Amino acid sequence: MNDIKISMETVRMFKRIMRPVAETGIIPLAEYNESISQLTSLAEHGSLKPAVIPKLIDQRQAAEMLGIGISNFKKLESEGCFPFKRKMVGSSVRYRNTDIYNFLLLE
């Protein structure tokens, strides 16, 4: 196993070098953003972010992702404990699963 770590300084340097390449269209901007996101995760946590297919989920699914009960989730959300915001789809409350995943990574 290799014990080489990626520093945030290296990530910042990569961002400065590759940003013009992405802006000219040589590599897609989305690919550049994903690369920066993955490098940042490596520098901060020592591992890559797993692939998460973005989708909207309901309150019960959000509570499941967080490992808490639905009533506790609703209480914590009403108190503003979560950095992610609800999305209204018609009259239904939804959340981005990627927002919840990113919140879990920060803990």
Q: What is the pTM of this model?
A: 0.58
What token pair was written down for 16?
């400065």
29 and 60 within one domain: no
Q: Is residue 60 part of a domain?
A: yes
89 and 70 within one domain: yes
Q: Domain residues for 34?
A: 8-45
pLDDT in tens, 3-60: 678 899 999 999 999 999 999 999 999 899 889 988 998 898 888 887 778 899 999 9
Q: Is residue 70 part of a domain?
A: yes
Number of domains in the chain: 2
